[in-house]
Structure 1
Amino acid sequence: MNSLNLLKIAEQFGAPLYIYDAEKISSQFQRLTNAFKGVSNLRLNYAAKALSNISILRLMDHLGSGLDTVSIQEVKLGLMAGFKPESIIYTPNGVSLEEIEEASALGVQINIDNLSVLEQFGSKHPDVPVCIRINPHVMAGGNSNISVGHIDSKFGISIHQIPHLLRIVDLTQMNINGIHMHTGSDILDIDVFLYASEILFETAKNFKDLDFIDFGSGFKVPYKAGDIETNIEELGKKLTTRFNEFCAEYGKELTLAFEPGKFLVSEAGHFLAKVNVVKQTTSTVFASVDSGFNHLIRPMLYGASHEISNISNPKGRERYYSVVGYICETDTFGSNRRISEISEGDVLCFKNAGAYCFTMASNYNSRFRPPEVLWHNGKAHLIRERETFDDILRNQVDVKELFESPEKIAAK
């Protein structure tokens, strides 16, 4: 999408707002599919937590994707969006047995990541196919906040607990049909990922009736020109060869599964915000926008970097700005960024705003969450309306009678 299209959409729907490019999502899906074209059975399960708007889910279903979910609500959203139950995998963490049973009753693939729940579920439902999430104790990403396969992670069953796991499976006679791992986002080193895959292959040998092996995802995308990213094509060649070898050893054609989220939608997303104030202090020039970490929390939460451009003045002289929000505490999107000269009223574009951006938005400071727009076949389609004051009050209960004076109560 070019700056002109983005500006026209901002004029039509106002700012701040999120815009998603359906063509980019489709091309990323195709790129990943092509990288593993040598695998007989490939299943890509889109990670709904990255961007869960129902229209985005419908797009993923249209592309032929499955769905990776982490909550019963995401499961129900997926079913509403048209996904068949068997194309949804449910991988919660730390939820109740009741929620897992509710998801199972809907017919989706259950993925269990701790021994306690595995034993409870297996004892009650031995015939239900279950996938097991393994923690390979591998740090494959560069950010400890989003790397989940290391030894201190709360996710997965430790590879050192395999004997205990096998004992539970044997005693309950559970139906284990899949093995899973997820090392976390921002995978930098393919060889580290392949090393973790070998651990998963070795674990899989303990189970004789598997249908699939799920390698999670976490592929790194570029956040600026020249930025490092996961070499999907190289990973595809190496893992395809190894996976096919394993299937031959195992004696069965298994399905190779991935759960891409950020890889599919991050670069497709643009967040637009209007500049309210340009303020110069003794050492800094601030560009303050009509948004904050209530709409885009990743820079403050993770230290994530989003490229920021001035689409109102794309060819202007570049200057250094710190782009900040309107939240009444430290609220910085980017410090000392080189951006085309900014004037009040200009629209700034934050790139890589498709994954974990709107889904983590809130009403902090009682601000409205922004609308979402899908750019599809050269047209802008509203897929979420801007919130209003009624939305802020929707589920609140005003107990004003508790605070009435005795005289007023007596008068009633």
Structure 2
Amino acid sequence: MSKKVIDSVDVDRLLAIAEKWGTPTYVYVEDMIRDRCRKLVNLFSGLPVSWLYAVKANDNPFLLEIISEEQLGFDTVSYEEVLLCRKLGVPAENIFYTENNMTDEEMHGAAREGVVLNFGSLGRLRSYCEQYPGSSCSVRIKPDISDGHHAKVDTGNEDSKFGIRMDLLPEAVALARQHDVSITGIHAHIGSGITEPENLLNEIDILLHAAKGVDSLKFINFGGGLPIPYRSGEEEFALDQFASLAKERLETFLEESGGGISFLFEPGRWIVGPAGVLLTRVNTVKDQGRKKFLGTDTGFNHLLRPALYDSWHEIVNISAAKTAKEEKYNVAGNICESGDILGTDRIMPETRTGDCLAILDAGAYGMTMASHYNRRALPAEILITTKGFHKVIRRRSSADETVDRFLKETGYPVDA
């Protein structure tokens, strides 16, 4: 399952996409997304396990439609994501909304939609219980387990802003009972792109133990944040081995509890990350003495992860022959910031102006974190369908369209 877009799609096809629709352009492969969804759905056969796709990883509606067709639900973290799923026809019961510093307006809107509300603070839980007596909800707890590919995405540690402290869970249960609110679910999430499977197994143990103190429970959501290998030679998350160890725990819990409880996991980037690539064109080759730079037509306004998390994405020159002389380059973006570096010390064939680069494993947390910084347009998005067609799933705006839209949104008067 460690296959990347560059392994699944002929390079000539990627070059044809870049030639026809220009760059920068995100390209996704439908077959890869469906295959990865099916791998998860079949992982815990015989057990009441479901999967929730993290909308924040990639929220293009065409991709959400594919994932919904593969029988996954949706993990949402904003009211806007809830509305997006609902407007795509996703049933409310298939949407799990984990709030983070939620407003009253967002709470009321989500309650009207009928989605599963997951509260991570006693204050918000109290507000909900007081205004929606007789209803049901889920609570997020803080398991005090530290993991994630970067400190900024470590969500389960002792000092995390997320979740209700474990020692306050009885207080949350009592608060809900006081207002005849049923806590039907408990949830935790230790980090995005977790590095140690043992930490996720330990979190499962903690939640299964905590479940014994919630008598109205119907489901347990273990979160997830499954990692993907970004570097060549990097070991892939041992999914089958993890599932085998987790399955033993879940089966034991069901036997001891008498059943009636289902389980949820949130795979995060695992589904779409490897299935996407960002194509960009080299428009500058610059020798600065100690370093050689490849200047591209994209930047951290389109792929923020390297600048925000010091993340590594493989970068491949798909225009150059593999036999060409190799050079060491820093790949730079076109944003007016010194930190706009997409890759450092990359060995690749001698590269020329006009060559097309493919930035791999960009399907997750690429487009959803993109911005109009420097007032630049967003990339186009192309889907390679199961039938082999190229489908435009987001059109690129021209510079004029981008600026005109901005002026219109601000309400600034512009002469016709």
- Per the normalisation by structure 1, the TM-score is 0.94
Give the Å deviation of 1:170: 2.7
| 1:18 is the counterpart of 2:26 | yes
The one-character-per-residue Cα deviations of 1:20-75 (angstroms, maximum 9, x if unpaired) are 11111111112222322242x12111110000011111111111111111111111
| 1:338 is the counterpart of 2:347 | yes
**Paired position in structure 2 for 1:409:** none
Q: Structure 2: how far apart are the matches of 1:335 and 1:347?
A: 17
The one-character-per-residue Cα deviations of 1:377-403 (angstroms, maximum 9, x if unpaired) are 2111000010232233321222579xx
**Paired position in structure 2 for 1:9:** 17
Aligned Cα RMSD in Å?
A: 1.4
Q: Structure 2: how far apart are the matches of 1:235 and 1:122?
A: 37
Out of 215, 233, 236, the position equivalent to 1:208 is 215
Out of 252, 256, 259, the position equivalent to 1:252 is 259
Give the Å deviation of 1:185: 1.1
**Paired position in structure 2 for 1:392:** 403
Out of 311, 318, 325, the position equivalent to 2:326 is 318
| 1:135 is the counterpart of 2:127 | no
| 1:78 is the counterpart of 2:85 | yes
**Paired position in structure 2 for 1:371:** 380
1:304-315 aligned at under 5 Å gives the runs 304-315=311-322
SS in 2 for 1:215: strand
Structure 1 unaligned spans of 5+ = 402-412
SS in 1 for 2:146: coil
8 A Cα contact 1:21 1:375, kept in partner: yes
SS in 2 for 1:35: coil
Residue 292 of structure 1 aligns to which amino acid in structure 2?
G
Identity, % of aligned positions: 36
| 1:230 is the counterpart of 2:237 | yes
Q: Structure 1: how far apart are the matches of 2:342 and 2:306?
A: 6
The worse-fitting range, judged by mean Cα deviation, of 319-328 and 24-33 is 24-33
Aligned length: 400
The one-character-per-residue Cα deviations of 1:215-259 (angstroms, maximum 9, x if unpaired) are 111111000221133211111111111011111211123211112
**Paired position in structure 2 for 1:382:** 392
**Paired position in structure 2 for 1:122:** 129
Residue 246 of structure 2 aligns to which amino acid in structure 1?
L
8 A Cα contact 2:173 2:183, kept in partner: no
SS in 2 for 1:224: coil
SS in 2 for 1:216: strand
SS in 2 for 1:104: helix
Q: Structure 2: how far apart are the matches of 1:72 and 1:336?
A: 41
8 A Cα contact 1:113 1:134, kept in partner: yes
- Per the normalisation by structure 2, the TM-score is 0.93
Give the Å deviation of 1:314: 4.3
Q: Structure 1: how far apart are the matches of 2:99 and 2:84?
A: 15
Q: Structure 2: how far apart are the matches of 1:3 and 1:255?
A: 43
The one-character-per-residue Cα deviations of 1:338-383 (angstroms, maximum 9, x if unpaired) are 1122110000000010000111111111111011111112111000
Out of 28, 44, 49, the position equivalent to 2:56 is 49
8 A Cα contact 2:156 2:162, kept in partner: yes
8 A Cα contact 1:55 1:81, kept in partner: no
Q: Structure 2: how far apart are the matches of 1:392 and 1:75?
A: 29
1:89-104 aligned at under 5 Å gives the runs 89-104=96-111
Residue 345 of structure 1 aligns to which amino acid in structure 2?
G
SS in 2 for 1:288: strand
Residue 34 of structure 1 aligns to which amino acid in structure 2?
N
Give the Å deviation of 1:128: 2.2
8 A Cα contact 1:292 1:325, kept in partner: yes
Residue 355 of structure 2 aligns to which amino acid in structure 1?
D
The worse-fitting range, judged by mean Cα deviation, of 74-83 and 15-24 is 74-83
The one-character-per-residue Cα deviations of 1:148-193 (angstroms, maximum 9, x if unpaired) are 0111111111112223223312322211111111111121212221
